Structure 1
Amino acid sequence: MNSVIEDEYYAVGGNRHSAAADWSLASGLLAFGADQNVAIWSPLNNDSSRGISALLSGHTSKITTIKFISSKSGGSDELIVTGSADGEILLWQHGKTCWTHADKAAAHQGSVNTIAVLENSNMFVTGGADAKVKLWKVQDGTLETLSTLELKPKFMPLALALGPFQATSIDSAFLVVGGTRNEIQVYSIESLSSTPKYKLCATLTGHEAWVRSLALTAAPDGEFLLASAAQDKYVRLWRFQPGLAAAAATKVAPPVDPKHNSTINDALTAKVQSVSAADSKYSITFEALLLGHEDWVYSAAWSPNESNQRLLTASADGSLSIWESDPGSGIWVSVSRLGEISGQKGATTATGSSGGFWTGLWSPDGLMVTSLGRTGSWRLWQYNTDSQFWTQKHGISGHISSVNGICWSPDGGYLLSTSSDQTTRLHAEWKRGVKRTWHEFARPQIHGYDLNCIASTTPHQFSSGADEKLLRVFNEPKDIASMLHKLCQIGLPPNDEILPDTAAIPVLGLSNKTMDDAKDMEDGDAAEELDPGLANDGLGTSLPHLEEPPHEDLLSRHTLWPEHEKLYGHGYEISEAATPVDGRVLATACKASSIDHAVIRLYDTETWNEIKPPLPAHSLTVTRLAFSEQPGEFLLSVGRDRQFAVFQNSASGDVKSWTRVAINAKAHSRMILDGTWLRNARRPTFATAGRDKVVRIWGGALKDGRLEFSCQISIARKVSVTAISAAASGDTNLLALGEDDGAISLHLVKCTDEIELVKSGDINKHLCPSKTVNRLAWRPNKESSCDRDQGHLAIASSDSSVRIWKVDWRSWAES
């Protein structure tokens, strides 16, 4: 069954935890937490630009920390250890075809905050919200707890570092712990392999707030350098020297403010402390104080390139800094600053202009860095050795909350998705030669309400509904159309002049304005000046000239679509929207608990006037609206009141004339969550899916001049069916079902005078979402409106992911 499924695309944002990502030095893979899944990305694979290659499900809570474990034999024995907010840790190993979880253990009471690995060993430590640090060993694919350290005075560890002593064996190590105290504790651990014993040897003081990150690296002459990043906006460096220090006090170079190049004070006297185990000892001295960030410093990471000792820091001020020691003076200075260079970051946090970077990571060769921002997107910079500049490349992006709605453009050129993260995103296929990869190409809407549904009326227009009482209609701007035409070979409209200009969001506003409209605002709108961070600074005009998909800075600031209309009429939050193939009418519904509000409202998409009266049928929220394949002939509605209704357009094809022709008040025993039409040339046929774990296929027939629908087939499932979508080839329909636990199944249904279930099959769990499937949508077939051998299935889930599968369903049907 799975041989016919090719997972072409994953789009999901990263968790905003500074420890929830790691870049492997052995394999070059980057793993990060994406809700309760582990996303696998290969940033070094520039040839394919695939993006996320897999989403690993196994956790039942949000992932908070990730680390790779590599043995001396290299990447073939590589493992991943992940921790989550519910206190569990999972061990992952790579099998023949995919990653699987090898073992699971309950590690802490509360969140697992951090993991540190002892280099070239199978040991690691975890720190949890229960104020404990645990030492673990991986043995033959299983997790074994060796010992537990209770921190005193009690505090929550947020960062750990683990390093070996210089003895010939690795039976001893030192442990550095930072967290919800201003001090850093240094422990020695003896008898690692048998009965570990902890001893508090040193307490490093100096920070004035919680310590968020610790990074340890080997230095020449057997030394170690420790970087500690804290919420006091500073980074401190500590040197671990073998043996006793030559003197009780050491003069170190004074810290320098890199912005003003001024000395903070004349000199600092470093207190010498030590950590020892058996006959090995390290003397610890304060090395340097790094100033330059203007907000909390979330993470610190040392470059793996041993020829050049550099430190990467990520801060809530929206910047990455790369620090080096000056060869002459030994003073540590910021040699590169990436991200938000300007001090003016704009007035709206929706665009990612504030909130900063949660983590920064180095590539194995030290020539690339990546960072995770508040929007869940990964930015990627590559160092050019010739120009000696860092250049931003396209990274990966995705939603950071439940994806509630998806729809394809009418010509199948791109996919739109909406989410509770209050954004609408456009995903399209980047075509260059024979290569095809999916990417996010635009962020048409950045809103102030959670978005629930979306419907595409034309290839250059869509409407979305949110937790507000109105719908908003958006038109594609010229720059986006030109970019999609160049990179994705998506056609331009016949008359290019009808497309609007670039859009921007006014300060304190929710409506995307065209740049010209924003400048001409009068009366009450005059006070809403444009956010300076969103003004067209030249980057927006460069969109049609891009040679690759836009990176995060462009996506969040210069790919908005201007708002064309607002549609009023509903009394509560919008729940559903749908359009027929020709897009001449928009049907909408809102959340309701009474007959008065559970009506279906129709809008003429040429004039955007409401077609009155609204269509009554339900008494509770309408959960799904679906038009039949024949343009505007039938409209199906299903709802929480357990009934479906069918409306028919008048014979003249007037979009303003709709009549209810069928209703079934007891279609399911529990609420109906989705419905879709099936292709049947002989009679109207549709399917409904309900909370009662049953999918029913209904066939229509005329009786006494009236159209009546009766249940022809029932498909029983083990879990509630929450999403359903159908694709057709001839008289055969491929029905995709999504369930409450994330499972997806395919069913072949032959529709003639008799409706027959030909074949059913479940998709392997490792390809499916880990939470509820909210929506399924088959891509419209541009090449042929009748037959197909393959199809693209888009999947929206509560686990924050958007997935696109390529389904070779003809091969499956014939097997």
Structure 2
Amino acid sequence: MVNIEVERVFIGGGCNRIVNNVSWGACGLVSFGSQNAVSIFNPQTAKILTTLPGHKASVNCTHWLPNSKFAYKASDWEKHYLLSGDAQGVIVLWEFTLAENKWRYVSQLEVSHKKGVTCITAVVLSRNEAIFASTSSDCVVNLWKLALSDGAGDCTIINLHSLSTGLKPMVTLSLAELPGSTTHLILAMGGLDNKIHLYCGERTGQFVRACELKGHTDWIRSLDFSLPLSLTGEPHNLLLVSSSQDKGIRIWKMVLCDSAGNFDKTKAVNSLAYYIKGPVFVAGSFSYQVSLESLVIGHEDWVYSVEWQPPSLKENKTCYQPQSILSASMDKTMMIWQPERTTGIWVNVVTVGELSHSALGFYGGHWSPDGDSILAHGYGGSFHLWKNFGSEIGNWKPQKVPSGHFAAVTDIAWGRCGEYLMSVSDDQTTRIFALWLNEAKLRGDDTWHEIARPQVHGHDINCLAIIQGKGNHRFVSGADEKVARVFEAPLSFLKTLNHATSNLHDDLQVDVQVLGANMSALGLSQKPIYVQASSETSERSGNEGFDTLETIPDAVPSVLTEPPIEEQLAWHTLWPESHKLYGHGNELFSLCCDHQGKLVASSCKAQSMSVAEIWLWEVGTWKAVGRLQSHSLTVTRMEFSHDDKYLLAVSRDRHLSLFFIDQTDQTSYQLLTRQEAHKRIVWACSWNPFGHQFATGSRDKIVKIWEVQKESCVQLMTLPAFKSSVTALSWTGLHEHNNNGVLAVGMENGLIELWSLSFANSEQDSSISPPKASLIIQFDPFMCHVSSVNRLAWRISTKDDGSESMQLASCGADHCVRIFKVSFV
């Protein structure tokens, strides 16, 4: 076990549900905040490539330097940069080297905001220089100059100016170079006072107020400057697009007037032209006239983002700014707007969106650097990507994107044969991730996707147990309610799984008469849709019956022949609920199933011994066959030994309990021992697959190894203290080394370690040769979670040459599900 390799196979995670969170870089990668991490994904492969640890609070906004707007300047850049701001006001700069595909934490800005950062914008002046602005709910806008390193040198960041915006904070910013001027920049800001504020300043100094633009009647949500473009033969026109919660989009034109030497501001302000045409402002030796170019109406809800199509380089190396604007709204649509050639009136030329009833609109929309793709992120933490396969306006088709939970992931479990990974979360969903084999063969690498969303609930889901043994795929989930729910795989899922994994389950499909499931609008239960009923429904006309609150559009369970997109997942992949398990007095907290698939154990949140009892349920009849009393506070984790003789439970009361389970005739149980295990809450436990040893992990940063001896348990050893609370454990055996194992340890700081454990071959020898433990590897922090690891789970596969390749799945409070490949060479 000297040579060990760990590689990251998959990251599944959702996007923080906040405006300005997503940025599409000139390098083609997309950045977004996922809880405390900055996540990076590649739209070409629909894979999350990495997560960057460094923030201590939720990431609110990210911004690439250069982003897609400045892609025409960055065709030969070797290094790209990323800014990220969080809910505590901290801004971090990252460096990405294209050739090596490596990330580096550069620095944290010294003059940070006192409250959460809400927007970052930047203008890239040259390969070595950029100016960016940040705004926060502390009513301050900071301007910075960034000298980018061209080679070995480091970046330097200078704070140019801090602007106070009074009592109402600004929520959106945009920066641009003023047309005709090589020294002056213009900063537009908008926020809660419904006005757009323009400030001018030199690249090196302070910014001064230029003018205000009035017109919007609600909060201003997004601003974006175009590159200077030529309109009707006039050179040097700068366009600004703004969107608001008043559902409207406005386009403002800034025209270069004569030089400022011939300009009398007081006279201009009092003139009639000032009120008709709009305000005039001076910057350096030039003056500019601002006027409203167009008012664009079409969305039915708040317009959260507007963005100009990125400029492109023509063959003669001149830069061309297309007159095309992308808007994203809470009305579940994104629209592309362009002026008509004859009238110049801005019209909607493309509309894409999400028709699912479960969607609640888009927080932002973004262009790809070449303008042939558009990306939205929505209320459900989800991404939506469309690509243009046609001519100018063309044929926009939805594409695959990464997906995952948008709240803490509380539990995971592998399918019975390891063909999929199931996870549950505080985002009130259960999700299934699987390797899509056909796609993997084409690409030559592991391509995991979310293939189903079996449960969409009304409560945060805390725990999960997949029923082992033969028969159809079933699982039990427990949420912030007093009921455990049992679900059974429908026919549509079994057929989808065949397409994904090529593991034929024809024997199961014969008996399954349920095609999928439907959800009632005001209920929490998922009702089955039967194969026969489904065909009858499709034959009937769609106008029958009345539309009441109790009915929502019927789901159409479909067999997926390629990885699904969000619309399919959210509605058409539900599993029917077969049973409810009543008995607990509080919210469910932990579940586990034995290895034969005969018993399920459940526990709930508890403050007293009577509520903290463990219930045993018989699989199939779903009768309660036992109520095990031992603990006085919440039982945090339970696990059956691999021969199903013992049930181990650990609790908030710092104790462990060991029960003997006898299933020979009728299920009977007996408490063998209850003893104090740790000085703080015990969060995790795990059995040795080849023996009756087990490990416990606690908030006291200690992992202890125990052994069952003569109807009691004895502590064998204590691992050296960890740097953080131990929150997850998973023990796996190595088949060629009997009684040797690998223990995965997950911690509150997000890090994961693997430890080697070896024991004597029999209980008698243990006194002569004590067990040994040694650290094998600490995972690279860039591969790990950025906050607490909630659960770890091993999946083992043996290769043809006899070497073992194991996969370790983990889930955490950072909204992520991760899969690692661990190879012993």
Corresponding residue SS for 1:215: strand
- In structure 2, C-alpha distance between the alignment counterparts of 1:316 and 1:412, rounded to whole Å: 39
Do residues 660 (structure 1) and 671 (structure 2) align?
A: yes
- In structure 1, C-alpha distance between the alignment counterparts of 2:593 and 2:4, rounded to whole Å: 34
- Seen in structure 2, the aligned counterparts of structure 1 residues 163 and 716 have a Cα distance that, compared at 3 Å, is same
- In structure 2, C-alpha distance between the alignment counterparts of 1:698 and 1:102, rounded to whole Å: 44
- Seen in structure 2, the aligned counterparts of structure 1 residues 492 and 587 have a Cα distance that, compared at 3 Å, is same
Please list the CA deviations of residues 387-437 of structure 1 after superposition, one character each: whole Å capped at 9, or x if unmatched.
922111121211111111111111101111111111111111111224421
Q: Equivalent residue for 1:255?
A: none
Q: Equivalent residue for 2:757?
A: 749
RMSD of aligned C-alpha atoms? 2.6
Please list the CA deviations of residues 454-502 of structure 1 after superposition, one character each: whole Å capped at 9, or x if unmatched.
0100461111000111100111111121112112224425231433221
Q: 1:101 aligns with which of 87, 98, 105?
A: 105
Q: Equivalent residue for 2:268?
A: none
Residue type matched to 2:381 in 1? G
- In structure 1, C-alpha distance between the alignment counterparts of 2:46 and 2:244, rounded to whole Å: 35
- In structure 2, C-alpha distance between the alignment counterparts of 1:229 and 1:761, rounded to whole Å: 51
Q: How many correspondences in the alignment? A: 751
Q: Equivalent residue for 2:270?
A: none
Do residues 766 (structure 1) and 782 (structure 2) align?
A: yes
Corresponding residue SS for 1:495: helix
Residues 12 and 816 in structure 2, CA contact (< 8 A), matched pair in contact too: yes
- In structure 2, C-alpha distance between the alignment counterparts of 1:7 and 1:435, rounded to whole Å: 12
Q: 2:172 aligns with which of 153, 159, 164?
A: 159
Corresponding residue SS for 2:496: helix
- Seen in structure 2, the aligned counterparts of structure 1 residues 654 and 677 have a Cα distance that, compared at 3 Å, is farther
Q: Equivalent residue for 2:540?
A: none
Q: How do 1:329-348 and structure 2 match up within 5 A?
A: 329-340=343-354, 346=357
Residues 796 and 805 in structure 2, CA contact (< 8 A), matched pair in contact too: no
- Seen in structure 2, the aligned counterparts of structure 1 residues 23 and 112 have a Cα distance that, compared at 3 Å, is same
Q: 1:116 aligns with which of 87, 112, 121?
A: 121
Do residues 209 (structure 1) and 218 (structure 2) align?
A: yes
1:3 Cα offset (Å) = 7.2
Corresponding residue SS for 2:507: coil
Residues 174 and 275 in structure 1, CA contact (< 8 A), matched pair in contact too: no
Please list the CA deviations of residues 256-298 of structure 1 after superposition, one character each: whole Å capped at 9, or x if unmatched.
xxxxxxxxxxxx9953323332123332211111111111000
- In structure 2, C-alpha distance between the alignment counterparts of 1:414 and 1:673, rounded to whole Å: 25
Residue type matched to 1:388 in 2? G
Q: How do 1:53-92 and structure 2 match up within 5 A?
A: 53-70=49-66, 72=73, 74-92=76-94
Q: Equivalent residue for 2:35?
A: 35
Corresponding residue SS for 1:608: coil
Do residues 452 (structure 1) and 443 (structure 2) align?
A: no
Q: Equivalent residue for 1:558?
A: 572
Please list the CA deviations of residues 698-750 of structure 1 after superposition, one character each: whole Å capped at 9, or x if unmatched.
12223xxx444333343421221111001111322110101111121110111
Corresponding residue SS for 1:17: coil
Residue type matched to 2:746 in 1? G
1:534 Cα offset (Å) = 4.0
Corresponding residue SS for 2:621: coil
Corresponding residue SS for 2:500: helix
- In structure 2, C-alpha distance between the alignment counterparts of 1:57 and 1:422, rounded to whole Å: 26
- In structure 2, C-alpha distance between the alignment counterparts of 1:709 and 1:316, rounded to whole Å: 59
Do residues 625 (structure 1) and 638 (structure 2) align?
A: yes
Corresponding residue SS for 1:286: strand
- In structure 2, C-alpha distance between the alignment counterparts of 1:465 and 1:783, rounded to whole Å: 36
Q: Equivalent residue for 2:817?
A: 802
Corresponding residue SS for 1:163: strand
Q: 2:247 aligns with which of 217, 230, 233?
A: 233
- In structure 2, C-alpha distance between the alignment counterparts of 1:228 and 1:531, rounded to whole Å: 40
1:565 Cα offset (Å) = 0.6
- Seen in structure 2, the aligned counterparts of structure 1 residues 788 and 174 have a Cα distance that, compared at 3 Å, is same
- In structure 1, C-alpha distance between the alignment counterparts of 2:225 and 2:4, rounded to whole Å: 44
Q: Equivalent residue for 1:11?
A: 12
Residue type matched to 1:35 in 2? Q
Q: Which runs of 5+ in 1 are unaligned?
A: 249-267, 521-525
Residue type matched to 2:695 in 1? A
- In structure 1, C-alpha distance between the alignment counterparts of 2:804 and 2:722, rounded to whole Å: 27
- In structure 1, C-alpha distance between the alignment counterparts of 2:674 and 2:142, rounded to whole Å: 59
Q: How do 1:263-282 and structure 2 match up within 5 A?
A: 271-282=277-288
Do residues 476 (structure 1) and 489 (structure 2) align?
A: yes
- In structure 1, C-alpha distance between the alignment counterparts of 2:56 and 2:549, rounded to whole Å: 42
Corresponding residue SS for 1:222: strand
Residue type matched to 2:785 in 1? P
Q: Equivalent residue for 2:657?
A: 645
1:533 Cα offset (Å) = 5.3
1:788 Cα offset (Å) = 5.8
1:215 Cα offset (Å) = 1.2
- In structure 2, C-alpha distance between the alignment counterparts of 1:564 and 1:125, rounded to whole Å: 55
Residue type matched to 2:447 in 1? T
Do residues 684 (structure 1) and 723 (structure 2) align?
A: no
Q: Equivalent residue for 1:669?
A: 679
Corresponding residue SS for 2:124: coil
Corresponding residue SS for 2:570: helix
Residues 461 and 476 in structure 1, CA contact (< 8 A), matched pair in contact too: yes
Residues 46 and 401 in structure 2, CA contact (< 8 A), matched pair in contact too: no
1:244 Cα offset (Å) = 5.1
Residues 339 and 345 in structure 2, CA contact (< 8 A), matched pair in contact too: yes
Please list the CA deviations of residues 47-66 of structure 1 after superposition, one character each: whole Å capped at 9, or x if unmatched.
xx251000111111111111
- In structure 2, C-alpha distance between the alignment counterparts of 1:406 and 1:741, rounded to whole Å: 19
Do residues 144 (structure 1) and 158 (structure 2) align?
A: yes
- Seen in structure 2, the aligned counterparts of structure 1 residues 400 and 57 have a Cα distance that, compared at 3 Å, is same
Do residues 178 (structure 1) and 205 (structure 2) align?
A: no
Residue type matched to 2:302 in 1? W
TM-score using structure 2 length: 0.87
Residues 509 and 528 in structure 1, CA contact (< 8 A), matched pair in contact too: no
Q: Equivalent residue for 1:258?
A: none
Residues 654 and 677 in structure 2, CA contact (< 8 A), matched pair in contact too: yes
1:759 Cα offset (Å) = 3.6
Residue type matched to 2:41 in 1? W
- In structure 1, C-alpha distance between the alignment counterparts of 2:506 and 2:758, rounded to whole Å: 37
1:4 Cα offset (Å) = 1.4
Residues 243 and 281 in structure 1, CA contact (< 8 A), matched pair in contact too: yes
Residue type matched to 2:123 in 1? L
Q: 2:622 aligns with which of 585, 608, 628?
A: 608
1:39 Cα offset (Å) = 0.7
Aligned residues with identical type, % of pairs: 33
TM-score using structure 1 length: 0.88
Q: Equivalent residue for 1:735?
A: 743
Corresponding residue SS for 2:820: strand
Q: Equivalent residue for 1:465?
A: 478
- In structure 2, C-alpha distance between the alignment counterparts of 1:762 and 1:15, rounded to whole Å: 28
Residues 2 and 764 in structure 1, CA contact (< 8 A), matched pair in contact too: no
Residue type matched to 1:42 in 2? N
Q: Equivalent residue for 2:269?
A: none
Q: How do 1:344-383 and structure 2 match up within 5 A?
A: 346=357, 351-352=358-359, 355-383=360-388
Q: 1:498 aligns with which of 508, 511, 518?
A: 511
1:33 Cα offset (Å) = 1.0
1:24 Cα offset (Å) = 1.0
Decide which moves more: 4-13 or 760-769.
760-769
1:802 Cα offset (Å) = 0.9
Q: Equivalent residue for 2:808?
A: 793
Please list the CA deviations of residues 516-545 of structure 1 after superposition, one character each: whole Å capped at 9, or x if unmatched.
59999xxxxx999687654135xx33x34x
Residues 257 and 286 in structure 2, CA contact (< 8 A), matched pair in contact too: yes
- In structure 1, C-alpha distance between the alignment counterparts of 2:798 and 2:618, rounded to whole Å: 25
1:305 Cα offset (Å) = 4.8
- In structure 1, C-alpha distance between the alignment counterparts of 2:721 and 2:625, rounded to whole Å: 39
Corresponding residue SS for 1:508: coil
- In structure 1, C-alpha distance between the alignment counterparts of 2:38 and 2:700, rounded to whole Å: 31
Q: Which runs of 5+ in 2 are unaligned?
A: 148-153, 264-273, 313-319, 537-544
